[in-house]
């Protein structure tokens, strides 16, 4: 990887355009704040050019968000966190199931032992 962020779906550009609209900023305002030309910013927003990590961070700071959010990865991170929590819960339930199975086996063995002992005592 060359340190540049690109997307075939232009998630970054769409997110930037949405945020720019929410702030009621023109491309010129954002370009000036980034210290780049309007055409250069337009290419970022339209997905015609890639951004490096530094520019991504600059954009995130400008729009008071995170680079992950700009890239549309916050949902991915949330889903991964949820998967980890589900795995922990699954592992806990598995341990509980094993404990219950062990108890059931011990009870079965105890009942079987009692049954055998009763039969032997009747003889």
For 4-71, which CATH class? mainly alpha
Is residue 13 within 8 Å of residue 46, measured between CB atoms? Answer: yes
In sequence order, what are the residues at sequence separation of 6 or more whose Cβ sits closer than 8 angstroms to the Cβ of residue 50? 4, 5, 6
Q: Where are the domains of the chain?
A: 4-71, 73-123
Q: Please give the C-alpha separations between residue 102 and each of 18, 44, 96, 110, in angstroms, as whole numbers.
A: 57, 61, 10, 12
State residue 4's pLDDT score. 59
123 residues of the chain, pLDDT tens digit each: 455 555 446 889 999 999 999 999 999 999 999 999 999 999 999 989 889 999 999 999 999 999 988 988 777 667 777 888 888 999 999 999 999 999 999 999 999 888 878 777 776
pTM recorded for the entire structure: 0.56
Task: Tell me if 56 sits within 8 A of 28, measured CB to CB.
Answer: no
Residue 63: closest CA among 8, 25, 109: 25
């Amino acid at each position: 990887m060359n340190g540049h962020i690109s997307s075939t779906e232009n998630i970054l550009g769409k997110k930037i355009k949405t945020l720019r609209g929410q702030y009621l900023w023109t491309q010129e305002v954002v370009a000036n704040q980034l210290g780049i030309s309007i055409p250069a910013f337009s290419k970022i927003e339209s997905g015609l050019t890639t951004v490096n990590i530094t520019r991504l961070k600059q954009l995130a700071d400008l729009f008071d968000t995170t680079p992950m959010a700009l890239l549309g990865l916050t949902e991915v991170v949330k889903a991964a966190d949820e998967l980890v929590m589900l795995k922990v819960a699954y592992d806990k339930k598995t341990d509980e199931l094993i404990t219950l199975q062990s108890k059931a086996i011990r009870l079965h063995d105890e009942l079987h032992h009692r049954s055998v002992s009763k039969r032997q005592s009747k003889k």
